[in-house]
Structure 1
Amino acid sequence: MTKVKRDMTKSVPAYQRIKNAILDNIHSGKWQAGEAISTEMTLAEEFGVSRMTVNRALKELSEERVLERRQGSGTFVAQQQFNHTFVEVRNIAQDLRSAKRDYQAQVVSKRTITVSMLDDEMRRKFDIEEVAVSSHSKSAASKKINNPETAVLYEVKIIHFADGLPIQFEERWVDANKIPEFIEQDFSEVNTSEYLIAKSPLERGSYTIRALAAPNEIAEALQIAPQSPTLVLCRQTFSAGQVLTFVKMWHAGERYQFSGEL
């Protein structure tokens, strides 16, 4: 390790280094959702710090709903449920089957997106910046990509059917570096949300619901007339401090509604 790198490491508080290491283990799949992580004593010895410092790291990750602490049992990787939002991260396949409806999924397309193929919306959503090798990033948080042919995102488009009728058209983009095997899955059999949740526990997210007229591609997929009213749920979710996935879910307005209990 170079002197500069050592100095940078020292500048990060010990509790934050522990948090980062735990998040790295979760993101890499070393610790899966529901699995116990190392004990406080083990972590204290590994990082050469007091148990109080470790306790702070675990406490903060528990408050962020990344970990779940069970008295007398230990600390476990939590599965985020977005319990305090209007819309939870739902599995449409499970919801429809629970309602005793026949469910099917049809994959319309799958592709890998390189930096040169990115549009402005995806650059903003995933904070990706293409730069020359000698230039400096405008933001330290941005992902600086020097090679325009570097694969950065996976894109899938899927039609979800209930009793043979298209009920949702899903357009999803996923960070290719975080979940490299995502594009290899058969999403006519595997649900995208369920797969991502199992692979990388979610930390937080944001969403919008809008009423939009259906563009031609969406209208064709949902078997409705072009410019018919649709409800569009857009959701961005984060894992390990960065955007993991962005999804647009289009619903035919006359077939779908959002509801819940307060």
Structure 2
Amino acid sequence: MPSSPLYIQIKRFISEQIDSGRWPVGHRITTEIELTKQFDVSRMTVNKAIRDLVNEGKLQRKPRAGTFVCQSPEKAESPLLDIRNIADEVAQRGRSYRSEVLKQVAIKADDRIATQLGVMFGKDIYFSEIIHFEDNTPIQLELRWVNPLYAPSYLQQDFSAITPNQYLSDNCPLSAIEHTVEAIIPEDNVRNALALSSVEPCLLLNRRTWSHDKLISTALLYHPASKYKLSSKILLQ
């Protein structure tokens, strides 16, 4: 398996220093020249890694002074007891949304997915893997399995233009949801997709959705813990 691009490796190194507390807020980070020598790369490669972290709000450049660790930006927030279109959430925060579709295929249901989706083992189902971005920062990795009986045109959708949530909500009106949330240390594929450091945890939301009495989809939604939070509001009578 090929290694990550060099600028990603440098970005992870800096993020690890910040996330571990070795470089606290206000700390002046290693200079670009020093990082160039440390990683044996071009100044342009180091500059791209730092520029990305500046855009994500982790670093701040001060002219003639250097680059410093910033206070963590306010986390994006989603409701736990409801389902909202992530594209709409990002737009409501005044940010720019885009997505990158990694997979959109028909597969055979394995034991776990057959149980989660309420279908027979080995049945043909649909699967999609999508990274959702806010201002070019990845904020969610979505793995979704769908029963094709209820969403037959799922594979024909352009999920760079609409989200799976939007398509399913329009075609299979939501009647019930099941959510579980856990904090995890992500595996390499998740960490790479979300551009995380090796020490940053994820929030993993397990979701199943029904339309009337039909179980439509099951999904795993990974969020960077440093950039995302889930909340709920309950009205007591």
Global fold match (TM > 0.5) = yes
Q: CA deviation at 1:181?
A: 0.3
Residue 99 and residue 201 in structure 1: after superposition, are their counterparts in 2 closer, same or farther (change >3 A)?
Answer: same
Q: Deviations over 1:21-57 (max 9, x none)?
A: xxxxxxxxxxxxxxxxxxxxxxxxxxxxxxxxxxxxx
Separation of aligned partners in 2, 1:227 and 1:189: 33
Q: CA deviation at 1:127?
A: 2.2
Report the secondary structure of 1:154's partner residue. strand
Q: Which residue of 1 aligns with 2:110?
A: 119
Residue 126 and residue 167 in structure 1: after superposition, are their counterparts in 2 closer, same or farther (change >3 A)?
Answer: same
Whether contact under 8 Å (2:200, 2:226) holds in the other structure is no
Quick one: higher RCO (CA 8 Å, sep 6+), 1 or 2? 2
Residue 260 and residue 202 in structure 1: after superposition, are their counterparts in 2 closer, same or farther (change >3 A)?
Answer: closer
Aligned length: 156
Q: Which amino acid aligns with 2:161?
A: E
Report the secondary structure of 1:129's partner residue. coil
Alignment of 1:27-38 (within 5 A): none
Q: Does 1:109 pair with 2:100?
A: no
Q: Does 1:251 pair with 2:220?
A: no
Q: Which amino acid aligns with 2:191?
A: A
Match of 1:173 among 136, 140, 145: 145
Alignment of 1:36-51 (within 5 A): none
Query: Gaps (5+ residues) in structure 1?
Result: 1-84, 131-147
Give me the CA root mean square deviation. Answer: 1.7
Query: Gaps (5+ residues) in structure 2?
Result: 1-78
Moved over 4 A (4+): none
Identity %: 29
Give TM-score, length-normalised by structure 2: 0.62
Give TM-score, length-normalised by structure 1: 0.56
Separation of aligned partners in 2, 1:86 and 1:170: 16
Larger Cα Rg: Structure 1 or Structure 2? 1
Report the secondary structure of 2:81's partner residue. coil
Separation of aligned partners in 1, 2:90 and 2:186: 23
Separation of aligned partners in 2, 1:259 and 1:239: 24
Separation of aligned partners in 1, 2:110 and 2:188: 20
Q: Which residue of 1 aligns with 2:132?
A: 160
